[in-house]
Structure 1
Amino acid sequence: MNFIVEDEQAAEEDLYSFSQTQPYINTDEVTMVPVRFLSEEFGADVKWNEGLQQVTITDGLSGKVIVMTLDQHTATVDGRSIELQSAPTLKHGSTYVPIRFIAEQLGATITFDDETHVVTITRE
């Protein structure tokens, strides 16, 4: 799976071309991606809890459960707390999460090409 990544300012300046699957680099210099798009690409189930502002990802392959709350720097993975490099956020009606955290928790490897701004995710 490959993504071309923009920085957050460029994405904000061009709202008309922004798509709900378009990743971006936030002010923490972390690549953020829509949680539903990424999770479903891995075959994981995604649930949104409006009241708690939480997203739950359940991996169909490993059974791993990841719970993340908007604007919180801590997630739980199978019940244990893990510090996030950047908090999940709401952007253009979609929840965005740190791509590296989700990919690695789901057993994938991730690389970033600085020249082309392409993120490549591989899961065997």
Structure 2
Amino acid sequence: MKKMIAGILAALCVASAGAANAADTVTIRVDGEELALEEPAFLENDRTLVPLRGVFEAVGAQVMWDQDSKTVVVTQNQEDALTVIVVQIDSKNAFVGEEQKELDVPATLVNDTTYVPLRFILEELGNSVTWDQETKTVDITTA
């Protein structure tokens, strides 16, 4: 009897953990199309962090990674000008061109995937970003 109760409790714990993770899932849409990411986006301190390469390449940006300095460089041509954004892992400072700006949350590495704050970089690249709290959906409209 004790083993059966323990088994039921364990099953309930696993089921509720899965439901909690599903509730924390963030959906990303680019110009109305849901983006399939290899690694999931997540929330940290009310900010959406996304796997760098998948999202930014979807909006036409180029992404470079420097392993030695743990630095990400995102570039995109906009109206005859090149926008360059440099972000270092675990730093709240970012550079847009030569101007230093502060991030709400730092870029981070999770299981060898670089995660960055979505809104900051996308808006610096001229895109529009909206957040639906009820559905935990980010809608990106490209420039």
Q: Which amino acid aligns with 1:6?
A: D
Q: How does 1:1-124 map to 2 (within 5 A)?
A: 6=24, 20-26=38-44, 28-61=45-78, 62-124=81-143
Q: Give structure 2 stretches of 5+ with no counterpart.
A: 1-21, 26-36
Which structure has more helix as a fraction of its residues? 2
What do residues 79-119 of structure 1 show as CA deviations (whole Å, max 9, x unaligned)?
Answer: 11000000000012210000110110110111111111111
Give percent identity, aligned residues only. 35
Offset of residue 21 of structure 1: 3.5
State the superposition RMSD in angstroms: 2.1
> Normalising by the residue count of structure 1, what TM-score does the alignment of the two structures yield?
0.81
Count of paired positions: 110
Give ranges in structure 1 of 5+ residues lacking alignment. Answer: 8-18
**Structure 1: 4+ residue segments shifted above 2 A:** 4-7
Cα offset for 1:38?
1.5
Between Structure 1 and Structure 2, whose CA radius of gyration is higher?
Answer: 2
The alpha carbon displacement at 1:5 in A equals 8.2
AA aligned opposite 2:38: Q
Contact 1:5 1:118 in 2 (8 A): no
